[in-house]
Structure 1
Amino acid sequence: MSTPPVSTHPPSDLRLVPVEFAPETFWVGKRDPGNIFYANPYLRRFRGVDPKTQKQSEFNLLIDPGSSSDFSTIHTKVTSLIGGLERLSALFINHQDPDVGSSASIISARYAPRAGIVCSEDTWRLIVHMNLPRNRFIATEKFAQGLNVPTGHRLIPVPTPFCHFRGAVMLYDPQTRVLFSGDLFGGLTDANAQGLWAEESDWKGIRAFHQIYMPVNAALARAVATIRKLQPAVEIIAPQHGRIVRGALVSQFLERMERLQVGLDIMDEAQDRTHLQAWNSVVDRVLTLARGYLGTSVETKLATSPELSDTAAFDGKRLTVNRMGKWTLEHVVDLLCQGEPPEIAGPILVEATSAAAEYNLPTPHLDIEGNAAPAHVSLLTS
């Protein structure tokens, strides 16, 4: 079968043709002009020799097939690549939300009657009510060590519980080093953004999406730790929303995601603005002390953070906390202490903790052990 030309990035082509962003890996989604939130269905086409039969084999996997409202676009693009939806071998569904896989019912009932449906048991309990055939369910729990594709390739299900659904499971393709991450690393996209590849500016939309939908940082930190253990290391993150992450942004976004405060972490503090004046006083004291040790490098350190502007205003000299005072103080202290010896980091940590206590504020969570602060600091945080 001949393969039609695919676009590598021209934005004008996104609505018309599939985009091959890794070998035999295609974005087959829909883009409406001006939208800031859209779904990303992907097609992974495997071709090779079946280890059992020693014959040429093909396996076509549609990942997060998307909303039924996007079905016509997906149908057209997938058909242009493999000749028809009836050639689909399986559908993979990250979790139960309708924008992830509500088109699966029409695909499996009418167009791909033999395609398996791969997802977690928790996800299946809900999506089965979309009239999906029970006899085609393939549980990811049965393939924790990997799922062998009948072309000699392998896929690895990667559970990410509570990101944002209990049964959410990512899918890792070690051949292409693409991680299909579902909602994790998905986000809102600027209406004027061009192409499929994420840029530094995409983090703002990713952060906003996660702070709304993810329940707690502990779930994100666990997911990041799991991603870092994957071998070979992940090179591309293909989320179900937003744009595709590659290159240096993979490690940068992993680091930010690991410490991102979301959901219950920020709900109460985000709504409580009564202590902002006190938090500003604490931050002022910390910065004054830090300047005695670090001089003008204090401003340089603060300017390196792309996240500080989310909660504070920094004019190059003065920092004013506008919301989430505890998180802002923790972040400022982390920036100041990064790379500094204990004799500098220690006094900064002590000042932050003791100043918060003097104003009867919640104790900031600081990396005391990691910065090797003096032993008496632990008494202040107990």
Structure 2
Amino acid sequence: MSGPTVRLPRSDGTVAEHRLGEPGAFTRPDGPLTSRTAYAAAHVVADPFGDNTPGAPVDVDWEATLAFRRHLWSYGLGVADAMDTAQRGMGMPWSTTAELIRRSAAEAQACGGLLACGAGTDQAPADLASTDEVLAAYLEQIEVVEGAGANVIIMASRQLARVARSAEDYAKVYARLLEQVSRPVVLHWLGPMFDPALAGYWGSAQLTEATDTVLQVIADHSAKVDGIKVSMLDEAHEVDMRRRLPDGVRLYTGDDFNYPSLVRGDGESYSHALLGIFDAIAPAASTALQALDRGDLATYDRLLEPTVALSRHLFGTPTYYYKTGIVFLAWLAGHQQGFRMVGGLESSRSPVHLAEVFRLADAAGLLPDPELAAGRMRTYLSTVGVAQ
């Protein structure tokens, strides 16, 4: 049976007809995933009737936001909430983020879902003057996350990147944080391709020196570190780093370019996952991880291989706008009623870019209702001048 068609714009100024294929044959697990710990960094759903324009107060569709988290949990994935995928630092204020943490934590407890939430310093003024002020801001957010019953992800801090003068300043702040958390946390090293304000994190622009610093922090406090999420888009660096971690400390890949091979491993070591792309490819990712649990590497490779082109496109430069494509796919897949984002960020990718998102998602079998997806794509393209 042939699928619906959509006329898609291309970068050369032409339009080509695209016929949709069949959705992928993805399955939900019967029990927990066992071979890897895998989190999907989840987006928030903006209220389609809210203002949500640049500078306006944030208006979240809480019902759809929590329903999407239940979708991720139903596939056996953990949810990493209040992260950059949820527009931290790009429109989501701390007041709304704190509410997101509390609501997601209550939902996780109700359905038994694995949840970890980001704690940062974004509620504090951008011009903090000292590392002590940064520490106090971190502890305020950690208290909210722990108080809600969620696990903590200590996010990279723009304020710390601005006020720290040396690797020792980073080591001091993180040591004091890790001494005060109530249970092991996930650290987060977010590269400047995701947030340019984080260049030189850990006290050096040299990757080797920065890595040595964070590894020493982890070694000194390994009992308080569940793992570290590394989002540097450098496969060789991640493999080397995970081999140097203390026993029992996980490396969670945040590499949205090379995740299949990093999670698969090389026979000596492997990465766990904490990925923004898992928001968009949850059914494929879960089914692939179920195959990995069975030792079926061929199926694992087959399911994830077509998602890589999609992920690399979504996370193409400027990488920090990847969220737009993530939300666009959630709309196409029927998880939300409108293609709107906090702060008007839906305008941050071009129609040609989003047309390629549509084509690549279809190639990976990630549009569960082709008729719905085609109808929504035609509607969107008509509004930007592509006749259907």
TM-score range, shorter chain: 0.3 to 0.5
Scaled by the length of structure 1, the TM-score of the pair is 0.34
Structure with the larger strand share:
1
Structure with the larger helix share:
2
Scaled by the length of structure 2, the TM-score of the pair is 0.33
**Relative contact order (C-alpha < 8 Å, sep 6+): which is higher?**
2
